[in-house]
Amino acid sequence: MTQKEQRQHFQNIMEQHMGILHKVARSYCSNEEDRQDLIQEMMIQVWQSLHRYNPQYKISTWLYRICLNVAISLYRKNTTRENKYTRITEQTTQIPMEEKTSNEMQIILLEQFISELKEIDKAFMILYLEDKSHAEISEILGISISNVGTKIGRLKDKLKTQFSQFNK
Amino acid sequence: MNESEVKKLWQETNDKLDKTLAIHQLNTKELFQLKSFHFISSMKPIKFFVLFTGFLWVGLGVFILGNMFIYTLPETNKFFLFSASIQVVLTAIALIIYLYQLITIYQVDISDPILKTQKRIASLKTSTLWVTRILFLQLPVLTTFWWNYKMFQEWNAFQWVITGSITFAFTILAVWLFINIKIENKDKKWFKLIFTGKEWTPLMKAMELLNQIEAYHDEGKENFNQSHQ
């Protein structure tokens, strides 16, 4: 593949799958500036890894691997990152509850839940919410399919607890 | 809230993503010219400086001590010669580990599965502990390099007790630290005291990540065992 073809290939991938980069960045980065840096870094890594792409995997699997690996590594490296999602306590929910719809509050709650997860769990959660099959999650994370099933069960329980606490 | 409702909620949050992120405007031509600040471990000038001064120190040490061994061995103070040699050798080993770690981190395949890649990166980062352990082994020789033959002829018992105690304490401390500086002790107070500060944060985080990865693997093993019982 010539460099021109490679560039075109890269641009096609980005156009079709930019959403993956945004979703991952959004889950790992609290502020927009960090998010932009992260997306840029993901794009650079995708470009630099393009020649290593193995067609035996779906392009989305390959992209998730790169994006999540970059996000986890940068997340760990960046120590000054602030957390946008303030903990929803009784105090903070009382006022917005009157102004925000239940749906908006649930979105905030979901975002908060994701932001509080550890790095690897966060990756797992994104893939679960994206409705990826157990087999694909297993390929992206590098764990067994049965382990994926167990982890999903645990995450569902955690989510249920989180939302039931809020509903109370 | 059931599973499909949560997933629907997630889709709604995605729909609200800011589509006007400046990155969209990024010209891909510019992107190809951009240099990655490297997501794993940026080669900051301080790292080059450490490597440069480290190798300069070792090179100088090898040159001076080598000349002493070859040309002036009979008249050289052996305490100094052997203490300095041990120090230079230990520094050289630490530098080689540090350099190997930096090079290997850059060779990690970012498109490998998450747990494999992250484990590799975190393990390499925690190998910094080896550098620290080896450098601590230098402690005893820092107390002996100035010793000389006159001391054995002229010093009284009190002077020897003081000097000997210091060297003995440094030796015990160095060996103890060499044995005990390991991931398993990362939550101990003394460990946190040594590895406190911004420069150690990546190391501490890497150890935390290794724990997470191990937890995933342990669960996998449990599942496997349960399904085969």
Query: A25, A47, A82: which is the final residue of a domain?
Result: A82
**How many domains, chain A?**
2
| ipTM field | 0.82
What is the distance between the alpha carbons of residues B126 and B185, in angstroms, rounded to a whole number? 13
Same domain, A73 and A4: yes
Helices then strands, counting H and E runs in chain B, come out as: 11, 0
Sort B161 into a burial class: Cβ within 10 Å, 0-12 / 13-18 / 19+: exposed
Interface contact A41-B114, CB threshold 8 A: no
* Closest CA relative to residue B111, chosen from A67, A134, A28: A67
Same domain, A74 and A95: no
Same domain, A121 and A163: yes
Query: A82, A117, A136: which is the final residue of a domain?
Result: A82
Which pLDDT value is given to residue B41? 54
Interface test with chain B among A68, A69, A72, by most B beta carbons within 10 Å = A69
Same domain, A156 and A107: yes
pLDDT of residue A95 exceeding 80, the answer is no
CB-based contact, A13 to chain B, within 8 Å: no
Q: In the structure encoding, which two tokens stand for residue A71, read together?
A: 């996000």
CB-based contact, A142 to chain B, within 8 Å: yes
What is the distance between the alpha carbons of residues A19 and B19, in angstroms, rounded to a whole number? 10
Domain that holds residue A70: 1-82
Which pLDDT value is given to residue B27? 58
Same domain, A97 and A153: yes
Per the listing, tokens 């990152």 go with: A81
Q: Give the pTM.
A: 0.79
A114, B6 contact by CB (below 8 A)? no
What is the distance between the alpha carbons of residues A57 and A64, in angstroms, rounded to a whole number? 11
Neighbouring C-beta atoms of residue A167, cutoff 10 Å: 10
Cβ–Cβ pairs < 8 A, chains A and B = 157
Interface contact B13-A107, CB threshold 8 A: yes
Same domain, A134 and A69: no
Binding-face residues of A in 27-56 toward B, CB within 8 A: 32, 35-36, 39-41, 43-45, 47-49, 52-54
Q: Any idea where the domains of chain B sit in the sequence?
A: 40-227
CATH at A43:
1.10.1740.10
Label residue A90 by pLDDT band (50, 70, 90). very low
Query: A54, A82, A110: which is the final residue of a domain?
Result: A82
Q: In the structure encoding, which two tokens stand for residue B156, read together?
A: 């009284």
* Closest CA relative to residue B118, chosen from B23, B192, B228, B216: B216
Label residue A83 by pLDDT band (50, 70, 90). very low
From first to last of the 229 residues of chain B, give the pLDDT tens digit: 677 888 888 887 777 665 544 445 455 656 666 655 555 555 556 777 888 999 999 999 999 999 999 999 999 999 999 999 999 999 999 999 988 888 887 788 889 999 999 998 888 888 889 999 999 999 999 999 999 999 989 999 999 999 999 999 999 999 999 999 998 998 999 999 998 887 788 888 888 888 889 888 777 677 667 666 6
A29, A35 contact by CB (below 8 A)? yes
